Structure 1
């Protein structure tokens, strides 16, 4: 699967695309020819994950690492939502959202949903990072002008 970025150096919200490779440095996209070359994977990972890492750093507190029953329920629900979304089980994901809402009502504390969302996003970012460690990144240019980047899975 080949995913292409909407903008150069912005690696979130990529879309699938069909690319025909003509040789080691030329490809065609929508009948236009472009040059491509390998992009440093470590720079790619840094550009993609520096902002989520900073956000995680600033939103976590000591209270997130206490093992109270309420915190464990929030962590379990966040893990459940992340796993069902990763496995593409949309019905189970929706059931998990419903359970999260019911737990918020049961404990009469809407902040539970915020903690579940925080843990869900953190787990999903770690999973995404693990997946992105196994990709090849290329920069796409036309007349030495950087157009965008695309990624392919290692095989």
Structure 2
């Protein structure tokens, strides 16, 4: 597995609706296809072999959320995580590729270290609820991403 920074995704549109999480419409210039994800700022983007990994934030300094998406070569969402806590500020920093399958970063505090591991094949997990990590599918799910502090 090889993780490399990429610049294939460009912001096509920012979607703002009252009382809803902001969204981004991103266009992949290499594939000439678009995808909608949560967030307002495209913080980082990586290619993982022929897949993609996106980091977005909501641009809300007093209650920030980090969204992480793992996409197929056709831009289907294979796995998605949210890192957030109520009334907690966050700033993504220190992004670094560590090994061929892991990215390190900080979010809530500069001195913390989160590790995001991309699995070569998905693991099935039952009821994955570990605050402050959230998944949209709460019960029996297929996970490609493992996030640990």
Looking at secondary structure, tell me which structure has more strand per residue.
Answer: 2
| Structure with more relative contact order (C-alpha pairs < 8 Å, separation 6 or more) | 1
- Common topology (TM > 0.5): no
Larger Rg: 1
User: Which TM-score tier does this pair reach, normalised by the shorter chain?
Assistant: under 0.3
